[in-house]
A and B are shown apart, each in its own frame.
Chain A
């Protein structure tokens, strides 16, 4: 295929390259990923560039949009956190991949595996015998003064089990063409999940190219890793869970995605307790044991009792469970110490002592300024150094406080730096200010060269380390090839490893590994997740009810009623919390619960279908885009109807698409209890003698039962027929009875509903409410009775909360 493409280069292809070649040649001394030093396209890039050249500009923008649409639909967003404010923007996918040949990939892989093994050895020593310090290979102060070296963990490195099981590395290619490790990402490396999402998006952008380009698939890596987690858990009884900092963390979407993809329970610290020496997850069915945590918290946050006392993310007692060996974590808690910058100054020497040679994949040259010779080197070469805190675990290129003088710095600045190095060298580290290679991105209809670095993930398998064949690349926003410029943000790209031969196509689902263990995870519902699901149901239902009220209100205004007329005034006073007749204020009554519903949903996005999340998100977006003041009064009912169609679409997704788990029951319970309570109020307000004319029709309209009433009664509505249809009718999905009965059925299926014939408090309350309602006649349904029933439903909600959710 390569050869044929080369024989027939069309004009577009040549144009693409000419422009790019000029731009690369204009840059400083660095390597380019696509072009060889002689300016020719590297063979592994030829098929793709040929394909790209065959597409028209219109084609391309349509394809890029398809990829972006996938990411939006999947909820892959780039989140930034600034103090307490968070903002979301589109995932910055570069639609041009970074392509590496299999041979080069294997070389990189072998180097990273060797490095991973060395890191395992070092970590074992740090939390074990401290031979590296004792034999002078590492200055004692680099552990003694290191906040990432967690003393309560010391001694736990002496176990026989592997301490590291999941790693990522950030690599850059230097001007000589060699790859260097920029940072070892040990703790909560967020790479893998993003890599899958990028890949899926890229398959949408270049579908036909993927079919025969021999690009290595990523799924096999995850299948192996899933097996690793199973193996690590070993014979300990209990679930495997992914411990996440929660939705406020920028990587939460990845955590939710990985948990769903690998079939793991997603938990947060508040879900966990340690009881009888075992880590447990609090579920709606009581505490259940956890045997393995894939920890995505910074280590020090894992246990507020023994580690960082300020941590709100972990759970007290987890360190004790680790000591008692009733719990394992991937990676070992405390492993983050390997990210200490100053360690990079000693790893090459430690490698030589252990392996008898240098590492194949070494890190950027680094000097710890606590030793005179190293300090003097940094002072003498200050113009090509980055300098920063020796004990930080953020890479120097990612740290805004990093000092980088550059070659044009004045003497005074250099003298100040030298002074600082002499006074507090122990706390400082110098690192070579490396230059990165460039790779093409698409900007304004042309290929442009931008500096990039690679992120690559490793997972331990039974056969040793497995390297993900691909990964993701971070691409700089500007053309400054200094690695430090990366922190200004930019794009991310999919990394393709291509083979000369056809590649295998594994799937995570096909030969499901140990299906029994996976399905058991599905049955576990943490109380916090159940609580959020319950409130998604309640808030979304509340939003729907308020939309129906608003539509009914504006329908009357559109028909010529005045805001001060009896019925509109009565509606506002009795059903709409005395709102002012302002469009914005009335719209807020459904905008607020919608927003809260989405918030609750995004806390448990791993448990809702992607379609459900998408429906909710687009509903909120559509509503936020409306300027209710600008809509003509006549158009308001139609506008609200359009929102209503979408919200019932969400409810439909819940009922048609959700697996019938306890989670679904809590969501459905939320909807039913909210709807039943709301209908009690509507009926109490609209059926009293004091209600203005038209109130009964209003109740039917809000209850979406105008047609049903016509079909059943063939008379004008009176209080008894409305009560019959909307309070008592067990077949009407808008009636109080229908939802109280459905709630009773859900509750009967929840765990721990009494033993034998003795009902639980929740089961008792719901049965009493149902019975009281079912044994009433339409004429006996007074406002007082409905008010009491509403209170009963509220008590039921509280009891449910106490029993299952707290």
Chain B
């Protein structure tokens, strides 16, 4: 299945900004046997003074752009095509959590997908007692890790209301959980903290979601902007399992991965630093269409 993805991110500055430097993480990854980036074009306006690319610690593609001269807006445009492969039939091969802990405790790998990076805390995600209690309430020790992950994700989805006005990009997970409201970023952060409280390695995934559902399906939440979901490490055999708590679903071909990280800060689409004395307004538009 092929997708055509278009993304526009606009930053408008009340006072002209200068000396700006941005890290941009918006281009889908290529993941063997799952997702293949066919072609992409990433443009900036105004044209940057300098532009380079790198791959970060977690293997995400990053564009680094600098704009020295004063400018009152910056627009990032991405157009790309991605081919997704249908995953095999879901099989749960994960151990229970006690065995899972023994599995990672003896690990000696520090590569990008190593569970050791995803045990927390991060600067942004610090343990929260209410979230930990919630996770424990839905935890069944005898069940497999994957079953627990899905159960906790579903419970979280049922408990929290999708609400684009309740939180901002800077809201912390504890606050969103207290409000029982938020967007994909908040739900993902809360789920990560819940799983980590049970010693289940969990990370943050940013990406795109198919805009229109297959015939007869329901339109999903979070299609008009970049989306976020969670991945949990379910042992050496099962590996990483991705789950979208905003839509209470396991991740299949409708979720296109851009970045893997520990929290939003690791994969935020645009991370910037600039000199400006005024405020800033941002907007984002995404369109993900199926190609024939």
Q: Whole-angstrom distance between the alpha carbons of A273 and B116 in the complex?
A: 34
Q: Does A416 sit within 8 A of B, measured CB to CB?
A: no
Q: Does B265 sit within 8 A of A, measured CB to CB?
A: yes
Contact (A309, B110) CB under 8 Å given A276-B50, A317-B66: no
Contact (A144, B64) CB under 8 Å given A154-B57, A274-B21, A305-B23: no
- The secondary-structure label for the interface of chain A is loop
Determine whether the beta carbon of A144 is less than 8 Å from that of B114. yes
Q: Cβ of A145: which chain B residues have Cβ within 8 Å of it?
A: 116, 119-121
Query: How many interface residues does B have (CB within 8 Å)?
Result: 31
Cβ-defined partner of A309 (8 Å) among B109, B115, B265 = B265
Determine whether the beta carbon of B21 is less than 8 Å from that of A317. yes
B53-82 CB contacts (< 8 Å) to partner A: 54, 56-58, 64, 66, 68
Smallest Cβ distance from B287 to chain A, in angstroms? 29
Q: Cβ of B64: which chain A residues have Cβ within 8 Å of it?
A: 320
Interface segment out of the listed A135-143, A445-453, A775-783 = A135-143
Cβ-defined partner of A306 (8 Å) among B23, B50, B52 = B23
Q: Does A322 sit within 8 A of B, measured CB to CB?
A: no
Q: Does A130 sit within 8 A of B, measured CB to CB?
A: yes
B77-127 CB contacts (< 8 Å) to partner A: 105, 107-110, 114-117, 119-123
Nearest-neighbor residue (CB-CB) of A139 within chain B:
B105
Contact (A316, B57) CB under 8 Å given A130-B110, A141-B119, A308-B123: no
B1-41 CB contacts (< 8 Å) to partner A: 19, 21, 23
Determine whether the beta carbon of B110 is less than 8 Å from that of A140. yes
Q: Whole-angstrom distance between the alpha carbons of A249 and B117 in the complex?
A: 32
Nearest-neighbor residue (CB-CB) of A273 within chain B:
B19
Q: Does A75 sit within 8 A of B, measured CB to CB?
A: no
Q: Does A523 sit within 8 A of B, measured CB to CB?
A: no
Q: Cβ of B52: which chain A residues have Cβ within 8 Å of it?
A: 277, 320
Q: Whole-angstrom distance between the alpha carbons of A295 and B123 in the complex?
A: 22
Determine whether the beta carbon of A305 is less than 8 Å from that of B272. yes
Smallest Cβ distance from A423 to chain B, in angstroms? 11
Q: Whole-angstrom distance between the alpha carbons of A524 and B122 in the complex?
A: 40
Q: Does B129 sit within 8 A of A, measured CB to CB?
A: no
Q: Does A175 sit within 8 A of B, measured CB to CB?
A: no
Q: Cβ of A273: which chain B residues have Cβ within 8 Å of it?
A: 19
A310-342 CB contacts (< 8 Å) to partner B: 310, 316-317, 320, 323
Nearest-neighbor residue (CB-CB) of A275 within chain B:
B68
Smallest Cβ distance from A30 to chain B, in angstroms? 39
Cβ-defined partner of B108 (8 Å) among A136, A305, A317 = A136
Q: Whole-angstrom distance between the alpha carbons of A304 and B20 in the complex?
A: 12
Q: Does A133 sit within 8 A of B, measured CB to CB?
A: yes
Nearest-neighbor residue (CB-CB) of B111 within chain A:
A130
Smallest Cβ distance from B129 to chain A, in angstroms? 13
Q: Does A177 sit within 8 A of B, measured CB to CB?
A: no
Nearest-neighbor residue (CB-CB) of A143 within chain B:
B110
Q: Does B271 sit within 8 A of A, measured CB to CB?
A: yes
Determine whether the beta carbon of A277 is less than 8 Å from that of B50. yes
Q: Cβ of B49: which chain A residues have Cβ within 8 Å of it?
A: 276
Chain A CB within 10 Å — which of B64, B109, B115, B273 has the most? B273
Q: Cβ of B23: which chain A residues have Cβ within 8 Å of it?
A: 305-306
Q: Whole-angstrom distance between the alpha carbons of A277 and B50 in the complex?
A: 8
Q: Does A151 sit within 8 A of B, measured CB to CB?
A: yes
Determine whether the beta carbon of A152 is less than 8 Å from that of B108. no
Q: Cβ of B122: which chain A residues have Cβ within 8 Å of it?
A: 147
Smallest Cβ distance from A131 to chain B, in angstroms? 10
Q: Cβ of B110: which chain A residues have Cβ within 8 Å of it?
A: 130, 133-134, 140, 143-144
Cβ-defined partner of A140 (8 Å) among B68, B114, B272 = B114
Enumerate chain B interface residues (CB-CB to A < 8 A): 19, 21, 23, 49-50, 52, 54, 56-58, 64, 66, 68, 105, 107-110, 114-117, 119-123, 265, 271-273
User: 5 other contacts beyond A140-B110, A151-B58, A317-B273, with CB at 8 A cut-off?
Assistant: A143-B116, A147-B121, A276-B50, A277-B52, A305-B273
Enumerate chain A interface residues (CB-CB to B < 8 A): 130, 133-136, 140-141, 143-145, 147, 151-152, 154, 273-277, 304-306, 308-310, 316-317, 320, 323
The 3 lowest CB-CB distance pairs between A and B, nearest first, are: A144-B116, A316-B273, A151-B57
